[in-house]
Structure 1
């Protein structure tokens, strides 16, 4: 009995001296930030917001004045901005007060982030373009401005005659984890699917591929898409529609 007491006492002391570690919450502007969050939103008066159901119908929700809500995906097109608030989509108006989470804080949730440009206004050719930091080739830094925090993507060495950096507003970027997979692995499509030039759901399909088409993997997965190639070139396809196959 005495031996059991000593063991329990030792376990108690160990627990006090070495408490179980838990991940610290990420806080900004007095509230917790979660992965995938782009900002928070309040409303100047009670308003009704809507979500579209798969069958084409809409559900509505009344949100109260001054209550804040986390926002996630952002869409910008036709000089309009839309925020995704859970399942509900809200257009930016004078009644909406949006405060972004700085891109540096958003990036901290990812081990190897890929940044995808999601602004369809302005230079439309940039929509869907993506980039990531690569040691020895490019680097990323952040800077605060009157219009929010910017991400600075710089590549190559400059002799001072040009600026080697591109600058992006944080709200123009979606962040996704970059996952490494084995390269040169052969995959087969499990159903017809459209290949895209960038790992973004909203960009248009470039080429349709039939079920059973085989591809070789480049070894990079981003935002639920795998970069693969076939005789026509490279493309991004949904990971969940690809299955590894052996040599045929």
Structure 2
């Protein structure tokens, strides 16, 4: 699979010499989640119980939340006719999950004086270097849609948990980061699709990018992990901004 990535990259480099090919660069945020709730397997619910037993306060149960991440992409649109094109290139993205419970041991205060219980959080982050293999269609000069598959190599697999530390008369949130004890699948195939809305310029076009990605297999592949990890697919939604040359 890695050799295929290299070959496809070389093909793209040879194709971009044609003037009709459009090159785009985009970045933005993504919102992701896993299809399985792994809070018990990672022991975060046990952490909450231990925190209470040690005298801490928990004002909510452990909840599953979406994870906020980001993506970067450099893509080429290769036209097949006036409205249909092939899109490919390189994309870096991350996905994962997030769990939390609230505590009134640390309280956030807004500028208006309102108060909110803080949260203890546990997050998984899986990072990928991907090559989208998409077909697209221009519905008009301003709107384009695309879809296909995105083979993705895992380049990062970590877990993070936050904690709070006093700093004078303030309390700061900090994070501990560690390698995930559960092995990630080396290559994951994502089904993807999306839409671009363009702001046409004289030399450079700007666009808004909206996309959806869904893993066609589990993002984990660890023979020593519980079976539920083998059922944990991932999805994420991209929302970003870019330029097209």
Q: If the TM-score is normalised by the length of the shorter chain, which range does it land in?
A: under 0.3
Normalising by structure 2, report the TM-score: 0.18
Q: When you count strand as a share of all residues, which structure comes out higher?
A: 2
Normalising by structure 1, report the TM-score: 0.18
